[in-house]
């Protein structure tokens, strides 16, 4: 992840219990998005990925795996955070 762009991988667990990549996607940030704080960029990555891959994700349960602890905290809460990211 960088200020220049977003990237994501869609993967699935095979019958052999190993994770296999299905597709790799990327997006070049515009000049405004490059100024976003890192938490906002991570949130944008999740939103953009789900939107971009919705044809694969429709009507199935899926798990989002990420390495950003702030977003993990937001996604595990029952209440929507207030303020700019709310």
**pLDDT tens digits for 45-63?**
889 999 999 999 999 899 8
Residue 44 lies in a domain: yes
pTM, two decimal places: 0.72
Q: Quick check: is 83 in a domain?
A: no
Q: Tell me the average pLDDT of the chain.
A: 84
Please give the average per-residue pLDDT across 20-40, as a whole number. Answer: 91
Is the pLDDT reported for residue 14 higher than 60?
A: yes
Range of the domain at 52: 5-75
Angle in degrees, CA 35, 55, 12, rounded to 5: 90
Q: How many domains does the chain fold into?
A: 1
Strand (E) or helix (H) holding 27: strand 19-28
| C-alpha pair distances (Å), 24 with each of 8, 9, 41, 50, 83 | 6, 5, 18, 13, 32
Is residue 45 a part of any domain in this protein?
A: yes
Distance CA 86, CA 80 (A): 6
Tell me whether residue 32 is in a domain.
yes
Q: Are 41 and 1 in contact (CB under 8 A)?
A: yes
């Amino acid at each position: 992840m960088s200020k220049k762009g977003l990237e994501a991988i869609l993967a699935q667990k095979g019958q052999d219990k190993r994770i296999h990549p299905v597709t790799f996607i990327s997006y070049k940030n515009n000049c405004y998005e490059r100024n976003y704080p890192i938490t906002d960029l991570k949130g944008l990555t999740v939103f953009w990925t789900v939107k971009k891959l919705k044809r694969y994700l429709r009507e199935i349960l899926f798990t989002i795996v990420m390495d950003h602890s702030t977003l993990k905290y937001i996604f595990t809460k029952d209440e929507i955070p207030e303020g700019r990211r709310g």
